[in-house]
Structure 1
Amino acid sequence: MPSTHLDQARLQAVDAPAEGPVVMLNLVRFRDEADYGPDSDQVPCSGRTAYFERYVPAFRKVAPEYGGTRPVYLGRAHELLVGAEGEKWDVVALVQYPDLAALKGILGDERYLRDAAPHRVAGVADWRFLVTSAVA
């Protein structure tokens, strides 16, 4: 089942080390056309455009206040060799946060919720967001 929204209860219950960096794995599939809803004043665009030209710049305005947050990798996804039949992703992104508190801080930041998240939700048809931490 496609997912596009972050569940705040799951975020608060994350079982990961409280200290040290976390790297978030993002698997993203874009909508052909971004869906801002019928009452939106947003100029129509593709899901890819909503994500890269609207979401990413808004995210980058918030991230510096959570020192050390940085993209690690962004790549085009090709073929899924192991996984559910028909599952397809457009982009794989790894973003490192200095710690779990920084991740939660950005995702709960009023500016992120107002200026960035709506573009992600509008542009993304399906999303996986996995918290990872280094193996000792």
Structure 2
Amino acid sequence: MLNIEGLERLDPNAPVVMLNLMRFHTRSRDGNGSGWDAYLRYSAITVPMIKARGGTLLWTGDAKAIALGPHAGNDWDFVALVHYPTVSAFLDMMTSEAYEREADPHRVNGCAEHVIVATSEAYSKFKTS
């Protein structure tokens, strides 16, 4: 469930990178392929929505192993970093009728768990200022 209250405490005009942690169902809940297949359908819809709001996919990858920290509950399948120019842009996408109607059902069908952490930049080798 989207934590609107927590996101509204952030500066709405600040850039944000969303750390996405996903664990997939073996089979999509709608019976249409695997959880990964459902997530690919979700991505095909959301990536244009992200780009339309000035955002970009920075990085995605398979989660391979817990290197440090508790293993229990941290067996993620996939990780993604998504940059949005503002927190408001993220909220606009996530609360849009198109997202809720067209994209989110695929996410729900594919993901057994999906955690998104809003981050602010402390350091980046890509920083321009």
- For normalisation by structure 1, the TM-score amounts to 0.81
Mapped contact 1:25–1:95 kept (Cα < 8 A): yes
Mapped contact 1:16–1:133 kept (Cα < 8 A): no
Cα distance in structure 2, aligned partners of 1:63 and 1:85: 32
Mapped contact 2:37–2:110 kept (Cα < 8 A): yes
Which residue among 5, 8, 31 is the counterpart of 1:12?
5
Residues 1-136 of structure 1 mapped to structure 2, 5 A cutoff: 6-7=1-2, 10-14=3-7, 15-36=9-30, 44-52=32-40, 54-66=41-53, 68-86=54-72, 87-135=74-122
Cα distance in structure 1, aligned partners of 2:115 and 2:51: 24
Residue segments in structure 2 that go unaligned for 5+ positions in a row:
124-129
Q: CA deviation at 1:59?
A: 0.6
Q: CA deviation at 1:44?
A: 1.7
How large is the Cα RMSD of the aligned pairs? 1.7
| Paired residues, number | 121
Cα distance in structure 2, aligned partners of 1:44 and 1:19: 39
Mapped contact 2:50–2:84 kept (Cα < 8 A): no
Cα distance in structure 1, aligned partners of 2:33 and 2:28: 6
